[in-house]
Chain A
């Protein structure tokens, strides 16, 4: 399968999906979400893959969220379709039968943060900035953010992040529980790689069950 807005690579038993629109701060348009959806299916079917890493191309952005240029041109039916597309792709990540490690290499806003929330583990580069600024343009997080943030951060911290629309740095994101680890930019790729290897090589015999337990929480 060849992709345009994402890239997909396999390294031994790791699958790496990257959002690949660095020129648009890796904003998520319909095409990107659809390709992400296809790549997820490809990874799911591949019995060799033991762990999925979701990250993005470039140094600057993980994802600036929904592509505003595209979204603002849509009519009501188009908006509904776009919201449902994102929700279903993120739902697929949520339910993914293999562990999903999200490597936040830079700015993650709105739908970008929501993408990360669907994964199991989030690590961020020290240079990353994160936030759910939807209320600052008149929207709410619509790809699961209002549902997953309270469970990950607790209700109070989720409320603050969502209602203020504030943007925070990686350290603050770690303090409030939005990311699990913060890595310096120069060790980012290698540490993510090592973490993924550790997950992939875990020999637990009841692996499928463990994944099931964690995913159903």
Chain B
């Protein structure tokens, strides 16, 4: 597949020679990696390809260049509202995507770029990452960082540097810029060697956890466990424990 505004590649990790990690890179560094219609549609296309590709089990979302991760919607977009609507659709897709998505964040993040980062399941940031006040992603921020931390960031309107983002819980981890991609690859590799059906179902349950009460949440977990119980992967996983070896999951 040929892309112009993003780059798409598949990677392996130290845990497996299989190319089971998909990497989408925002690739308009000359325009601060801003989102325009073309880029959003290409992200959509890449996600559809990833959905169909059974080898891929996890996605990394990163950006070209070290200065800016994403500066939101391109101010040059002729129809801003239309682009915003499209962006919201893509964010929803990222949130509900059945394979986990990890954001590898370096540099400035602003406008809807913050929304993109916060919508991913996991965030790893380089020390030079800086988040402008994420007013466009208030709800998501509260789920990630907790209500008090979200209020602190949103009401003060301040930008949050990497170190503070880590202490507020806005990002999972902060690492030196030259370690960003290896750290993300390691985390992605761990997910990629886990049982795919279980990962997919656990993401669904985690996503629902803020919307449902514990009883409904418990029912979702029970359904998910019963689905897992029907997989070959569970039998393989338990066998591997008793045989003291690493499991080989097929996603079935």
Q: Which A positions have Cβ atoms within 8 angstroms of B? A: 68, 72, 76, 79-80, 83-84, 87, 91, 94, 134-151, 153-160, 162-166, 176-177
Contacts and interface: CB of A to CB of B under 8 A. Distances in A.
A79 B247 contact: no
Interface residues of B, number: 53
A32 B224 CA distance: 24
B135 interface: no
Contact of B224 (A140, A143, A149, A160): A140
Given A162-B206, A166-B190, A150 B143 contact: yes
A144 B202 contact: no
Interface stretch (B31-39, B77-85, B86-94, B210-218): B210-218
A134 B194 CA distance: 9
Interface of B: 58, 100, 121-123, 143-146, 169-172, 187, 190-191, 194-195, 197-199, 201-203, 205-206, 209-210, 212, 214-215, 217-218, 220-222, 224-226, 228-229, 231, 233-238, 240-242, 247, 249
Nearest to B194: A135
B169 A154 contact: yes
B234 A157 contact: no
B216 to A, nearest CB: 9
Given A76-B229, A146-B205, A154-B144, A163 B121 contact: yes
A156 B205 contact: no
A151 to B, nearest CB: 7
Contacts, number: 158
B221 A87 contact: yes
Nearest to A166: B190
Contacts of A153: 169
A163 B194 contact: yes
Given A156-B172, A157-B169, A159-B206, A138 B195 contact: yes
Contacts of A176: 172
A77 B113 CA distance: 47
Contacts of A151: 209-210
B238 A83 contact: no
Contacts of A144: 214, 217-218, 221
Nearest to A146: B205
A155 B206 contact: yes
Contacts of A83: 221-222, 225
B209 A140 contact: no
A158 B145 CA distance: 11
B121 A147 contact: no
B209 A150 contact: yes
Contacts of B198: 134-135, 138-140
B122 A159 contact: yes
A143 B224 CA distance: 12
